[in-house]
Structure 1
Amino acid sequence: MSLLKKLRIKTQILIAVTCILIIMLTIIFSLYTQTSQIVIKNNNQYSEDTIRKFKLGLSQKVDEISQIMLNLGFDPFVQKFMTETNPSLLYEMGKDLDRKIISLKAGRKGFEDIVLIGTSGTRYSLNGGIEYVQQLETEIVNSKTVYVSGLEKYSYSNNLQNSMVFAQNMYSNDMNDGTDGKRMGYIAVIVNVDSMFFDNDKSNTEPGVGFYLIDRFGKVFPETHSPDITRSISALSRNPESNQKLTDYVGGIKGAVQIQKLDQIQASVLSFVPEEALLAELNSVRTRSILIVILALILMALPFAMIINNIVHPIQILVKFINSNKSGNIKELKMNLQLEGNVEMNVVAEKLNGMLGEINILTHKLVETTTHLLEAEIEKEKAATAYLRSQINPHFLYNTLESIKGVALEVGVNKIVDMTKALGKLFHYSIKGSGYVTLDQELNAIRSYVFLQLIRFEGRFDVTYDFTEETLRVPVMKMILQPIVENAIFHGLEPKTSKGMLTISGKVDDEANLVLQIADDGIGVEGGILEGIQRRLLEKPSAISRLSNDLPDNDGLGILNVNNRLRLAYGLEYGLKFESEAGKGTCITLTMPSDIILPGGNSDV
């Protein structure tokens, strides 16, 4: 957005028009995509319903075939025919069998032939299909249930037809000769797949469109003229995830595919409709929509050009006028701006002319005010200098402590010697060197400070230090720990009635940040006060040390000061975290980067 604001208005308007065009085209394509999905979904539902009806019809046909074979298989006349060996009787019985089978076929579409083959050598066929059936005899005999062949070509009346064979073994029943239950042959029914399972009208307007029957050997019916389509259909039918709706390619053509298993005939049925055929009308609508958008943009070009001219031309005059005044010539500041254009630009010209008229007056007032401010600043600096001069010289205090230590040594008061030595080291550390030291140097000063407090409080608390060698080399700001340790001792441990524990630790975390913790088991902080401290720690960094008089109290001044120093030096993601629970203690965590370069300056304490 910041880059866009810097562009010319004309460029911004052209970008806006381009964005409108892209949005409109995106909407059109989005609607097209959603509509396409709806069309494909509806087609899948239609295909699913059609396949369901197809399976229902197929199931009825298969049941009808099974019933015919069952009736014939247990028919006493047929069983007697299968066991008869007298040729003359077989001839006479064959005529009766013809009439029986012809009556069974009457009104049933797709029944081409019924074949009976007995174990005793008896053969019967209504239309000469014995040799065709005998090719499958081994599989039929070994079948435990109704046998269903694959798709085969069968010549009937000198006309090749796609056929399937349904067959079932026959067993003797009620023969009264002790042979009941003995296999006596089998019965086979040859059906025309085209007329029995499919409608006569299978004309397709697109290549590959329609329903296909695929047998267990991968043969496809109806046959297609494209080997690629046949191979694709066969491959899809072998997909183990049956009964699925998907989008796939058949013969290189993408379309909606649906496959379902036909367990009764050990085959599959596949429906396929190319997307091109499904979405033909939608493509036409999409093309017309794009043309309408382009035409609308062309018609909008003229009014946009007028608007651009009415806006940009006055602005160009305004920019030229402002550039002419950038030289700072007082005379040019007294010129009036003349703009002709829209109402807004006239208002701008009027206000600008009024502003230029006031600049001269304000200039004189600004010079006078600046003069007074400079004089006040000089007086302020003088007062600050006088204040500094009034302070006790830190080096004088340091030298005085050394003198006290020498006197204590002479009289043998070792405790005073240790205290002045520790205080001297702490004071010397605070006034010497740059603002950055290593953590090891900072800890030396903290040990001196804690030593003095242990003497003062006469062993009312213990202290432990836990730091890795890696952390001791990390550069930190000087005096960053002392205010936190002081807060822990005076506000956490001193009010505690029993002996306390102060823990000072540090480590470098996985993100290369130095994490320092000062924890005590003192009285902790009440919830209301804790929330106030935590809220102030999240405020924008400011020079707390210079604004202490504006604070309601100074209890947390050192903590806030340390937090501000960290955030001002390293960024808002670093700083101080304050955690406490009344009666249990307080833990303050300082986070800062560990990979900064230590500035030159103080290298020892």
Structure 2
Amino acid sequence: MRILYAISRYIDKSLYRKILLSYLIIIALIVFVLLFDFYFRTANDLRAQAVDSHLRLTQQSASTLNANMTNVKSFAWNYFGDFDFHQFVRGMGTDPEGQSSYRGKISNFVYNHPIVSNVVISQLDGFSMRVGGLVSTLIAPSEMQRLTDVAIGANGKGLWLPTDMYNPSASGQQVGYTLSYVQAIRQITLTSPGPIIGVMHFTLSSESLEQWLAESEGSREGRTYLVDKEHGTIVYSRHAAERGKRILTAEELLMVGSQSKGHYYRSSLGENQLIAYDSLGHTGWLVVTEVPTRVLTESADNFTKRTIWIGVFTLLFSMLLAGFISSRTITPLKLLSKGMKAIEKGNYSVVLPVRTEDEIGYLSKSFNRMTREINRLISKVYESEIVKKNAEIKSLQSQINPHFLYNTLGIIDSISSLHGDERVSLISRSLAKMFRYNISGNDVSKLDAEFQQIRLYLSIQKIRFDSRLDYTIYLEPGLERVPIPKLLFQPLVENSVNHGISHSIDGGIVRIEAISLGQDELQVKIWNNGLVIDEERQQWLRELLQLEDAPAGLEQQQASIGLHNVQSRIRMLYGPECGITFSSDEQYGTTFSITIKTYLPDQEA
């Protein structure tokens, strides 16, 4: 407590320390609040975008593979019911013309579907026709026989199966595996399904599947699997050794079994993971992707670090700037304080240097005039006259320049121009013009002056929002001199910026136009394409605009009470036939239309 008291006493003894401390507290608070709000908004958006992007990638990958598998199944099914194709299969070895025809058709299919590397049409006695690349040479006869047996056992139903690949030049060493579609060919009869006469075997390209997996996984730490939906075991992945491994627990199987696609989070080996899944048609398989959440949030984490460093450097720079500004402000005041102390000691000949043309310079000039006047009075009049003049001096000291605010804004304008920041200069000039307009004596203005006031306001907001805000203002020729109450449209323009544009991630446009509706009426439309008003609040606002008196509790909602006040002013001045209407939807944006007369029925209002 003693230390805090000592610090407080130390600061209280100097105006410079008080101003510097005030600057530091204000700057630190502003920087902290802005960075805190900006960080949480942006970081959460980055995390959500990363998750959404991963989910979309999983769905797109599943759709791509599902489309290719469906094409293969449809092609096989077309021949499954083709009588001529059955006749060809039965006499495959004795029908060179049919073999040439079907080889051409299947070759065209393989050419148009690069994911299919090889198609084999075989009879049960072993005679077969192969179309495509040489991938089939890497499938051992025993593996081909296993696939044939499975197809025959399915009794005509097409099946997708994982298939081992072997290298014949390395003594049958397994080199990987791929996916195959097999379907038995049954002879067509008029009475009942005929006997099985052959098997169709479609082999997918392992290179195409590898490329599909790489595109699905996205990041270097993501993994994609084809998983059996019933048992939760891996059907296909990058590594053949993983086939048959169970990666989904019983609880996870229950969850994924209730819906065709979705996502959830789980912890594995002490690390949180995002699991996304999507069904593959009627195969009974799922496309499952897993990726560590730290990979998804890496950009948000990097953004957090940058935000912290920017905040630290901004605070340090602001502290230095605050010290510099405080010093520039306090130094003339210190000289003035020394001059006052000199006068207290009877030295009326002190002269202060005048280095600026601002309020402090004005005080210095006034001080010098005061000392000269005192010297003149001392040498001219008696002590009674001196007392009288001292009263006049005190009166001079208490005078306040009525243009203090304008001069202060002029100082800000000059300093910003000297330091090359034209935005601050523009804001200062705009604020000065707006303040001068607001405090001018008359409560009634012209429409062109009101629009100029709105243009100044939007120019300041343009500096704040930069590229997120654009605006246009149109005033129909002939309406410039229409009399209107001051600041009638300002609340609605502010609502468009604060509730429409500022809440939209992409920003938007504010458009203001005034058009004539006839000889006695005009309409002002204030439109923006920012965040729309939800249906429930639209209904509430329409009911509010019909009320004569504001309901209880409305004071807490600045936007709503401003809208109600504008409606009340219009009806009070122009009558119930004039007022505000609005519309808001995603397609056309939000428009507030204000209908008024081209004259004021009662100028005194």
TM over 0.5: no
- Output the TM-score relative to the length of structure 2: 0.39
The structure with more radius of gyration: 1
With normalisation by structure 1, the TM-score equals: 0.39
